[in-house]
Amino acid sequence: MVDAPIAARGRRNLGVAVFFRRYAALAGLVVLLAFNFAVTPNFASLQTLNVNLTQVAEIVIVSVGMTLVISTGGIDLSVGSLMAIAGALAPLIFLSPFGAAFPILGDALAFVVPVVVATLLGLFNGWFITRFQVQPIVGTLVMFIAGRGIGQVLTNGNLQVFHNPVFQFIGLGRIFGAPFQVIIMLIAVGLAAWMLRRTLFGRHVLAVGGNERAARLSGVPVDRVKQFVYAISGLCAGVAGLVVISINSSSDANLVGLGMELDAIAAVAVGGTPFTGGQANVIGSMVGALLIQLLRYTLLANGVPDAAALVVKGVIIAGAVWSQQRGRTA
Amino acid sequence: MPLLVMRDIEKRFQGVHALAKASLEVEPAEIMALIGQNGAGKSTMIKVLTGANARDAGIIEFDGKPVAFRSPQEAQRGGVSTIFQEVNLVPFRSVTENIFLGREHRRFGLLDWPRMNKEAAELLHRFAVDIEVRRPLMDFSTAIQQMVAIARAVSFKAKLVIMDEPTSSLDEREVAVLFDVMRQLRREGVAVIFVSHRLDELFEVCDRVTIMRDGRTAMTSRMADIDKLRLVSAMLGRDLESVRKSGATGFTAAATTAGAEVLAAEGLRIGRRVRDARVEVRAGQIVGLAGLLGSGRTETARAIFGADPPDAGVIRLRGQTVQLKTPADAIALGVGYCSEDRKADGIVPDMSVRENLTLAILPRLVAMGVVDENKQRAIVDKFMKRLDIKASSPEQRIRELSGGNQQKVLLARWLCADPKLLILDEPTRGIDVGAKAEIQALIRELADQGLGVLMISSELEEIVEGADRVFVLSDGRTVADLPRDQVTAPALMAAMAHVEMLERETTGG
């Protein structure tokens, strides 16, 4: 019925629409880069690149988990609070008498325990949402509020200051000149993108987001898939929390990850993952985060105050959503 | 002068012609039937008219003026209202609110409820629907909800009302009420475009018919000048002889005798809808599950599939008593289930044909958590060929396929799992005649190969011609168990009706 030339042309037409939707953020990024090369002084330097990448890495890592959650039709407000808990736990471990006595074991546990705890709390989010059929925005609101409280209780609300080169490698170290957290970021993005495309779990995530009832009737363990997705989001938040305190050489449960949920959600939105679920664009989320970061940098580097940068950030998000909708109807 | 003229309409999706030089003319105060196989272009034609899809070429004139509606809302303001298969209203809000949504009467800046309630009640009364308009819409049956949708359309001063398969979820009595409403609309000078797959209905209520085939307008005729056979042949594009030779359905007699028991369910009780249901299916058998709407057929099927575990009763699969908690449990035991609602329970719209087809067997195509795409493609190719699924490629998104092809993909989703028992809930609902016969023939072929089939159908002829044994449900109870030679339309209807009378006598006395 369908002869080949027509089909081929059809694909090209579709290509334009998909391109618009998927790569609007990328196009914006390219334009912004070009602008900076032309206007911003000292932009074309390795240092500028590293500054921007290190600042964006934590947002990208969190937005990887957020992309997965959003592609199941959910949302995770608790990521910032989970970052605070992870950030509070790590120094408690390596600064403890035990950590001082066995520094290697102490540092290893300071990596592992906070991440595991954040993952389990994420799993709890998923369990809470699926077990009691709570709306994800409400279900994770519980952890959003309680989580930061837990972080503050753990540290008695105190600022923990430290100097621990081994542990801080995660935020300050470099491998072949590349900041370590940027490498973590790229691994997280690559792993998630591959997982979504190639693994059973990834396909189940998209099926659940695309039509939950149909997925259930096809034998997909819907509740378990959702629980895992929130656990992964918790894992990402935990890692990001460690990165942040390493960069700061201190941990303040009041501040670590504050507002991160909104930054991550913004990155996902700009990156082209629809909030209705069923589709995920992890690389898009990374591009979205980069776009927001670079925009802020551009404005600051050219003397625009941070407050004004927030407004521009809002405009960019609106613009991204607009271009995606055009892409969908085109 | 015609009310609506659509001429030389063209529409391509991904380069494939959905409409090619299609045309449609509707006179004022006329009921026009619009029919055709799935994928013939009926829905696209309506979407182009109402602005849900932009046309690539062609002329649309409405009420003497060229129009190009950009959205269904704009079309509604322009006098063209559409009633969809699934009612597009707000279930939690009252009937009145639904009718007046978006153009509420106000007094002193506040909503004038007494006036709106009164007008809503009057409006519905014109269609012989007298209900409490202040109650939420979801309290009422689908039929009433459709009446409300129609009343809303009429209150927009619609000159043309489009009804896209409005009868598919109605029972006979409700259909009769709907037809009265359509005639009432005609008396008031409103034209109706009526899309339906039930040919009898067309003869009952329509003035003229437009038949579409392969994106073109194949034929337009006065209803009085055409018979059923000619309608079917125009739809299929086959000659009359070949239509006359085949039966009313694609079913043929069973080739083999029944084998071992694959399913036995007894004493099923599920909520208030199912009180004492019993079914049995043997290998190689098509077992019909018949009953009026609301008799508990779908609920029974879902219980057997583990989708809604029963409150009481025993389910045996291949001789073993099982406790099914989720569909995954049932699938592991070789059960498949095609739900009656393709859109809500079947397809994952944004996923490809390939992904949809293999959704249920995905865990079997996995090594170390990674999907073996070569294996997956081989299976998809095999079943797309075997079921003659028409898609531009396995990567096409399933939402873009016609209903018949979507249904084939969903059938393939279960067939590739190699089930022992396949539960089909209205397998041919909303599907054109050609694909319908194909699917029916396929079901028989599968049964002949040893598959046990439990088939729910509202179409008597499908049960009569297809089933080797029939269980009749009434009010949540199995009231009859008919072997093949006793399965006739009168016997089935008697079984459904008899018990209803008994019920009334016992409750009355």
pLDDT (average), residues A313-324 = 78
Closest residue, chain A, to B395 (C-alpha): A11
What's the confidence (pLDDT) of residue A5?
A: 36
Other residues' Cβ atoms within 10 Å of the Cβ of residue B109 = 5
Pairs across A and B, CB distance < 8 A: 98
For residues B43 and B24, the answer to whether their CB atoms sit within 8 Å is no
Residue of A nearest to B345 (CA): A214
Residue B255: the pLDDT is 58
Sheet containing strand B80-83, edge to edge, reads B80-83, B160-164, B191-195, B31-36, B208-213, B216-222
Q: Quote the CA–CA distance of A56 and A49 in Å, as a whole number.
A: 11
* Whole-number Å distance between alpha carbons of B374 and B359: 15
- E strand or H helix that includes residue B107: strand B106-107
Interatomic CA distance for residues B150 and A113, integer angstroms? 62
- B286, B312 in Cβ contact below 8 A? no
Compute the distance between CA of residue B403 and CA of residue B396 in angstroms, rounded to an integer: 14
Assess whether B109 and B27 both reside in one domain.
Answer: yes
Q: Are residues B77 and B226 in the same domain?
A: yes
> What does chain B come to in residues?
509
Asked if the Cβ–Cβ distance from A13 to B14 is below 8 Å, we say yes
CATH number for the domain that contains residue B283: 3.40.50.300
Q: Is residue B34 part of a domain?
A: yes
Predicted confidence (pLDDT) at residue B498 exceeds the cutoff of 70: no
- At residue B168, the pLDDT reads 64
B107 in any annotated domain: yes
Among the partner-chain residues A6, A201, A214, the one whose CB lies closest to the CB of B346 is A214
Contact flag A10-B14 (C-beta cutoff 8 Å): yes
The answer as to whether B353 is a domain residue is no
Span of A68-77, B135-144, B389-398 with lowest mean pLDDT: B135-144
From residue A221, give the alpha-carbon distance in Å to each of A10, B131, B329, B346, B361: 36, 43, 10, 16, 13
**What is the pLDDT of chain A when averaged over all its residues?**
88
pLDDT tens per residue, range B146-205: 888 888 888 888 899 999 877 766 777 778 888 988 998 899 899 999 988 677 788 889
Across the interface, do A220 and B12 touch by the CB < 8 Å criterion? no
CA atoms within 13 A on the CB side of A102: 7
Whole-number percent of chain B with pLDDT over 70: 90
Q: Is A257 left (phi over 0), alpha (psi -120 to 50) or beta?
A: left
Helix (H, G, I), strand (E, B) or coil at A218: coil
Residue A14: both structure tokens together: 């579709």
What is the Cα–Cα distance from B476 to B487, expressed in whole angstroms?
A: 20
Cβ within 8 Å of residue A177, ≥6 positions away? A46
Q: State the DSSP H helix or E strand holding residue B81, giving kind and residue range, or none if neither.
A: strand B80-83
User: Residue B482 above 50 pLDDT?
Assistant: yes
**Whether the Cβ atoms of residue A76 and residue A230 lie closer than 8 Å to each other:** yes
- Residue A2 is predicted with a pLDDT of 35
B345 vs A217: CB contact, 8 Å cut-off? yes
Half-sphere exposure of B128 (CA within 13 A, CB side): 12
Chain A contact set for B332 (CB, 8 A): 219
Is B355 a domain residue?
Answer: no
B101-105 long-range contacts (CB < 8 A, ≥24 apart) are B101/B152
On the question of pLDDT at A181 being above 80, the answer is yes
Which residues of B, range 111-150, sit inside 8 Å of A by Cβ? none
Yes or no, beta carbons of A10 and B371 under 8 Å apart: no
**B275 with B269: CB under 8 angstroms?**
yes
A320 pLDDT higher than 80: no
pLDDT value, residue B240: 47
- Reading the block at residue B337, the tokens are 């289930």
CA distance B3 to chain A (A): 30
How many C-beta atoms lie closer than 10 Å to residue A138's C-beta? 12
Residue B415 has pLDDT above 80, yes or no: yes
HSE-up of B416 (CA within 13 Å, CB side)? 32
Q: What percent of chain B has pLDDT over 90?
A: 46
Same-domain pairing of B155 and B290: no
Out of B216, B245, B274, a domain closes at B245
Closest listed residue to residue B401, CA positions, set B38, B47, B36: B38
Q: What is the mean pLDDT of chain B?
A: 86
Rounded mean pLDDT, B207-235:
86
Question: Closest Cα partner for A56 from A177, A179, A141, A153?
Answer: A179
Residue to mutate among B11, B12, B14, B380, with most A CBs inside 10 A, is B14
Q: Which residue has the tokens 């299916």?
A: B281
Which of A207, A278, A279 is closest, CB to CB, to B359?
A: A207
Domain end marker among B245, B268, B284: B245
Question: For residue B245, what are the β-bridge partners?
Answer: none
* For residue B242, pLDDT beyond 50: no
- B68 has pLDDT over 70: yes
Residues of A in contact with B331 (CB under 8 A): 218-219
Q: At what angle do helices A282-301 and A306-329 cross, to 10 degrees?
A: 140
- Provide the residue type at A55 as one letter: Q
Q: Count the domains in chain B.
A: 2
Is residue B203 located within the same domain as residue B233? yes
B239 shares a domain with B139: yes
pLDDT digits (tens, 9 = 90+) for B51-64: 888 899 999 999 99
Domain, as residue range, for B94: 4-245
How far is Cα B46 from Cα B161, in angstroms, rounded to an integer?
A: 11
CATH 1.10.3470 fits A17-329, yes or no: yes
Domain ranges across chain A = 17-329
Residues of A in contact with B327 (CB under 8 A): 216-219
pLDDT of A56 over the 80 cut? yes
Q: How confident is the model at residue A303 (pLDDT cuts 50, 70, 90)?
A: confident
Residue B500: is its pLDDT beyond 60?
A: no
pLDDT on residue B73? 84
A-facing residues of B in 329-348 (CB < 8 A) are 331-332, 337, 339, 344-348
**Chain A residue with the nearest C-alpha to that of B393:** A7
CA of A13: which chain B residue's CA is closest?
Answer: B14
Adjacency order of strands within the sheet including B452-456: B320-322, B312-317, B261-270, B274-282, B477-483, B469-474, B286-290, B452-456, B421-425, B335-338
Give the whole-number percent of chain A exceeding pLDDT 70.
91
Question: Using only C-alpha atoms, what is the Rg of chain B?
Answer: 24
pLDDT of residue A328: 52
Q: Which of B15, B359, B390 sits opposite A1 (nearest CB)?
A: B390
Alpha carbon distance B21, B373 (integer Å): 40
Interface test with B, best of A218, A222, A328 (most B CBs within 10 A): A218
Rounded to two decimals, the ipTM of the complex is 0.84
Distance from CA of B29 to the nearest CA of A (A): 35
Whether residue B473 has pLDDT greater than 70: yes
d(CA A154, CA B98): 53
Does residue B399 belong to any structural domain of this protein?
no
Among A14-18, A318-322, B246-250, B259-263, the range scoring the smallest mean pLDDT is A14-18
> B-chain residues within 8 Å CB-CB of A206?
348, 351, 355
Q: What is the pLDDT of residue B233?
A: 72
Q: Is the Cβ of B305 closer than 8 Å to some Cβ of chain A?
A: yes
What is the pLDDT at residue A18? 60
Of A13, A216, A279, the CB nearest to B15: A13
> Does the distance separating the beta carbons of B327 and A207 come in below 8 Å?
no
Rounded to a whole number of angstroms, the distance from the CA of A299 to the nearest CA of chain B is 38
Q: Choose the closest CB to B15 out of A9, A198, A279.
A: A9
Residue B380 inside a domain? The answer is no
Residues 6+ apart with CB under 8 A from A279: A71, A206, A209, A210, A273, B350
Subunit contact B370:A215, Cβ cutoff 8 A: no
The reply to whether B465 and B494 lie within a common domain is yes
In chain B, whose CA is at the least distance from the CA of A14?
A: B14
pLDDT value at position B170?
72
Distance from CA of A137 to the nearest CA of B (A): 22
